[in-house]
Structures are given as structure tokens and as C-alpha cells.
């Protein structure tokens, strides 16, 4: 069963239950109102008649005064009035029934001649219809002399109640029909939105992430559409980054492979001249092989981070010695590019628990990026200082800087800010994940044309 049918069914069931309950209550209230009103009218009439008898006819014989009393009692009453003796025999009746008939068979009459007012509702054999009767005792000198009985037909009342009930039912049916129609329309708008989301999701499942789900209303479905669209946009961007990455890696692989193959062909064909040419070719082959190895290592690291297999081999690390050695290692390269590389440590640094190889990988990557984007005559400063419970390491250069739109995307996997530069676009992403494994944080600040500052925050230890 479709969601639209379930929604309409739910609306219909709720309104049907509500309407039936309300109509039952209303009809019961109308029924009570009419019948109770008639009963109160009869009781009031009977009380007045009994009071009249007690005040003016208590000294008279009931049977002798019955005809006069009957005329007075029925003067303002359109129904049937009976005067009954103390033994239950009928004395007078406005309908002309034969006097002397025993009325003690009616429960209200028995109660009245016993001194208690009572009512009775039932089928009258003479009238052949539903009637309501009220019997009231006639008291003379403290004794029950008889009873007066007022009887009225309920036929008109029943017809009135039935007509009102039919009106209620008709109104209820109209309400149910209107609510059902509104439910169909509302469910249609909901299912339309759901169908639109379903179609968009199916297209995304097929790989089309350019599609966008419609957002007709600002509700839960609208929020779902926003989420779906955001997800599609994110996947689309990731797909583009991945494609760029594949293209970049292909280029990075092709360049050294082309160099290696060229020199292999040269060496095999004996086209080289002298030992110098041979050494040059072997150096290039070795350099390009190292470049390929570095690229493969980055890919392997990325794979390990992706599936959570990367683990740290922690040991006690003396940061002052560690950073000084890294500076010495890269200073020759910086000198070849006419870049000043300085290590500035003004305060004793703590010994921290870290993976030296992975942390070295991070620092080499940060310095490699700084060397790539810093021109001749520029400078790079590695500095470090202890702070409250942590150590702060910075790599600051005077290079080209990074545009603001690229700055937020740099740590993303596959992303390369400058596509003309070599590299896989994984270095910063891997570096950030290594720092996070150390429970630290990597922060990049840059201003276009002025340089870049990368700050690494690591949990500190004892200063030595």
C-alpha cells in the first residue's frame, strides 16, 4: 500500500472516529434535553395540581369532586389527565376511559398511591404509541387520598429528535467528505514531494550528482531536500577532486616514467658519450625512481588513513634536536633555490610522546610546500615554543601566499591549490591526519602575496 493511501486512510479513520463520537454525544444530549424537559413539565404540572387539591379540596370527597378537579387540572394541559383513587381504581379520565378500571398495574401509579411521585415511559395500549406518564399523590389531612396522573405522547418528540439526528448525520457526512477531500489534496502534496525526492535519489544512485531535489516547502521534507542536495554537491565536488587527482597522479607518474624510459633507451642503444653522460643518466633514473617511490608511499598512506589501518610507533622525542636535524637536512635544497632556511628555538622544548618518522613526514611535507612556493631571495622560518600543556611548531614562509577560496580546501584529500606545481594533492591531507592521530591540530594562515604560516599544535610533556 502506497504512502498516499495510508495517509488518506489515517485522515479518514481519525475524522470518522471523531465525527461518530461527537454525533453520539450530541444526539444523546439532544435526546436527554427533550425528554428531560417534557418530564420536568409534567412533574411541575402534577405538583401544582396536587398542591391545588390539598389547599382547596382536601375537605371534600375525591370521587365527588373528581370531575371538577379534572376540568381544572386539564385546563392548561393538552395531554391526558387521570384522577385515580387510593385503591388504584380510575375515577376520571379526560380521554373518556371507563371509570373503575384498575390502574395499579402501572408502576408510577403504585408509587403515587403509596405517597411517592413517579414517572413511567412505555407503550400505551390505548394510544398505540410511546407515552410518558407522571403520577403524583393527592394528599388530604396527611393521608394519600389518591393520585393525579399526567400523560403525554412522545411521538412528536421522537420525530423531532430523529430529524435533529438526521441533520447531525448529514452534517457529519459532509464533514467527513470535506476532510477526506482535504486529506487527498494534502497527501498529494506530501507524496509529490516524496516522489520528487525519490526520483532525485534514484538519479544520484545512477551516478548523476548534478540533479537537485525540489524544495516546495520549508518543512521536514524541505530539510531533507536540502540535505540531499548538500550531499549531492559534496559528492560532486569530491568526484571532481578525485578526477583531478587521478589526472594529477597520471601526470606525476608519466613524467618520471618518460624520463626513465628515455634514459633506458639511450643507455641501451649506446647513444651516450662518456662517463659523465652515463652518470647523469643514472642520477636522473635514481631521482625519478625516488620520486615515484614517494608518490606510491603517499598513496599507501592515504589508503591506510582511509580504512583506519594507520598506527603510530610512539617514542620519546626531543623536539629541539628533531627540528634542528630537519632544518639541516633541507638547508642545502633551500640554498640551491637561494632561500634562507632558519630554525628558531628560543626556549627549551618539552620531550613529547610521538612517532618520529610520521612527524618528520609532516615537517618535510610542510617545508617542501614552502620551498615550492617561495621564490628566490625569500625566507622560511621553523620556530617552536612551549605553551600550557602543549608545544607549538610553526613553518612560516615569505612565498606567494594562498588565495582565500583555496585556503579552506587545502587539507581536503586530492585538492591542489596550484595545478601547475607537481604533487599528488595528498600531502596536507595526510599531514593533518597524522597530527590528529597525535591528538593535535594543524592550522593554516595565509595572505596572498605575503606568505603562508602553518601552525602545528601538539600535546606537551616535560621540558628538558
User: pLDDT digit string (tens) for 377-427?
Assistant: 999 999 999 988 899 999 999 988 888 777 766 655 444 555 444 444 567
Q: If you ran DSSP here, which 8-state letter would residue 89 be given? A: B
Rounded CA separation 134/153 (Å): 12
pLDDT at position 127 is: 66
For range 23-48, the mean pLDDT:
92
The answer on pLDDT for 119 being more than 90 is yes
- Of the candidate ranges 125-129, 268-272, 345-349, the one whose mean pLDDT is the lowest: 268-272
The answer on pLDDT for 115 being more than 80 is yes
Residue given cell 632561500 in the structure block: 339
Residue 378: C-alpha distances to residues 140, 164, 318, 343, 375 (Å): 131, 98, 29, 15, 6
pLDDT at position 382 is: 95
Chain centroid to Cα 232, Å, comes to: 20
pLDDT at position 381 is: 95
Rounded CA separation 199/259 (Å): 50
CATH number 3.40.50.740 is the correct assignment for the domain at 220-306: no
Average pLDDT, the chain: 83
Q: What are the domain boundaries of the chain?
A: 3-159, 220-306, 315-463
The answer on pLDDT for 292 being more than 90 is no
Share of the chain above pLDDT 90, in %: 33
pLDDT at position 276 is: 60
Q: In this structure, what C-alpha cell is assigned to residue 223?
A: 530539510
- Of the candidate ranges 48-62, 85-99, 293-307, the one whose mean pLDDT is the lowest: 293-307
Q: Name the more confident of 456 and 313.
A: 456
- Of the candidate ranges 80-89, 240-249, 313-322, 367-376, the one whose mean pLDDT is the lowest: 240-249
Residue given cell 634514459 in the structure block: 263
Chain centroid to Cα 454, Å, comes to: 40
pLDDT at position 461 is: 59
Share of the chain above pLDDT 70, in %: 86
| Fold of the 3-159 domain | Beta-Lactamase (3.30.450)
The answer on pLDDT for 206 being more than 50 is yes
Q: Name the more confident of 6 and 353.
A: 353
| 315-463 CATH | 3.30.565.10
Angle, in degrees to the nearest 10, between helices 3-56 and 155-205: 160
Rounded CA separation 98/126 (Å): 12
pLDDT at position 341 is: 94
Q: If you ran DSSP here, which 8-state letter would residue 347 be given? A: S
- Of the candidate ranges 125-139, 273-287, 379-393, the one whose mean pLDDT is the lowest: 273-287
pLDDT at position 420 is: 44
Residue 147: C-alpha distances to residues 59, 70, 106, 115 (Å): 16, 12, 12, 9
The answer on pLDDT for 298 being more than 80 is no
Residue given cell 608518490 in the structure block: 295
Strand ranges inside 30-117, DSSP E = 80-85, 90-93
pLDDT digits (tens, 9 = 90+) for 135-185: 999 998 888 999 999 999 898 899 999 999 999 999 999 988 888 888 788
**Do 366 and 421 touch, CB atoms closer than 8 A?**
no
What sections of 210-273 are H helices per DSSP? 220-268
- Of the candidate ranges 19-23, 354-358, 426-430, the one whose mean pLDDT is the lowest: 426-430
Amino acid at each position: 500500500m502506497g504512502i498516499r493511501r495510508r495517509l488518506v486512510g489515517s485522515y479518514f479513520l481519525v475524522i470518522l472516529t471523531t465525527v461518530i463520537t461527537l454525533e453520539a454525544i450530541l444526539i444523546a444530549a439532544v435526546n436527554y434535553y427533550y425528554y428531560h424537559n417534557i418530564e420536568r413539565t409534567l412533574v411541575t404540572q402534577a405538583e401544582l395540581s396536587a398542591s391545588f387539591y390539598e389547599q382547596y379540596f382536601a375537605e371534600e370527597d375525591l370521587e365527588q369532586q373528581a370531575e371538577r378537579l379534572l376540568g381544572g387540572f386539564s385546563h392548561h394541559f393538552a395531554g391526558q389527565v387521570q384522577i385515580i383513587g387510593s385503591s388504584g381504581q380510575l375515577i376520571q379520565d379526560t380521554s373518556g376511559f371507563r371509570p373503575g378500571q384498575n390502574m395499579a398495574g402501572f408502576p408510577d401509579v403504585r408509587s403515587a398511591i403509596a405517597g411517592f411521585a413517579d414517572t413511567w415511559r412505555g407503550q400505551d395500549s390505548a394510544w398505540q404509541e410511546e407515552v410518558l406518564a407522571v403520577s403524583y399523590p393527592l394528599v388530604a389531612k396527611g393521608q394519600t387520598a389518591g393520585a393525579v396522573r399526567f400523560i403525554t405522547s412522545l411521538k412528536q418528540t421522537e420525530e423531532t429528535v430523529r430529524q435533529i439526528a438526521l441533520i447531525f448525520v448529514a452534517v457529519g457526512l459532509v464533514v467527513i467528505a470535506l476532510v477526506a477531500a482535504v486529506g487527498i489534496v494534502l497527501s498529494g502534496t506530501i507524496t509529490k514531494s516524496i516522489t520528487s525526492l525519490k526520483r532525485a535519489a534514484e538519479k544520484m544512485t545512477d551516478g548523476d550528482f548534478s540533479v537537485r531535489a525540489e524544495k516546495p516547502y520549508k518543512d521536514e521534507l524541505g530539510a531533507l531536500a536540502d540535505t540531499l542536495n548538500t550531499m549531492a554537491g559534496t559528492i560532486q565536488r569530491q568526484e571532481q577532486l578525485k578526477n583531478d587527482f587521478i589526472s594529477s597522479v597520471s601526470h606525476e607518474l608519466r613524467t618520471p616514467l618518460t624520463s626513465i624510459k628515455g634514459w633506458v633507451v639511450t643507455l641501451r642503444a649506446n647513444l651516450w658519450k662518456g662517463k659523465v653522460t652515463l652518470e647523469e643518466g643514472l642520477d636522473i633514473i635514481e631521482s625519478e625512481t625516488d620520486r615515484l617511490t614517494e608518490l606510491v608511499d603517499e598513496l599507501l598512506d592515504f589508503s591506510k588513513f582511509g580504512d583506519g589501518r594507520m598506527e603510530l610507533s610512539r617514542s620519546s622525542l626531543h623536539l629541539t634536536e628533531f627540528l634542528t636535524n630537519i632544518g639541516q637536512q633541507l638547508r642545502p635544497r633551500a640554498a640551491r633555490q637561494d632561500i634562507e632556511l632558519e630554525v628558531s628555538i628560543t626556549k627549551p622544548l618539552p620531550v613529547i610522546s610521538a612517532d618520529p618518522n610520521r612527524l618528520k613526514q609532516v615537517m618535510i611535507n610542510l617545508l617542501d610546500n614552502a620551498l615550492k612556493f617561495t621564490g628566490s631571495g625569500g625566507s622560511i622560518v621553523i620556530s617552536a615554543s612551549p605553551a600550557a600543556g602543549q608545544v607549538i611548531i610553526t613553518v612560516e614562509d615569505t612565498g606567494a601566499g594562498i588565495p582565500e577560496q583555496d585556503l579552506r580546501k587545502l587539507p581536503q584529500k586530492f585538492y591542489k591549490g596550484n595545478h601547475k606545481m607537481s604533487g599528488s594533492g595528498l600531502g596536507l591531507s595526510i599531514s593533518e591526519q597524522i597530527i590528529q592521530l597525535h591528538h593535535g591540530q594543524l592550522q593554516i594562515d595565509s595572505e596572498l602575496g605575503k606568505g603562508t604560516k602553518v601552525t602545528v599544535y601538539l600535546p606537551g610533556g616535560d621540558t628538558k
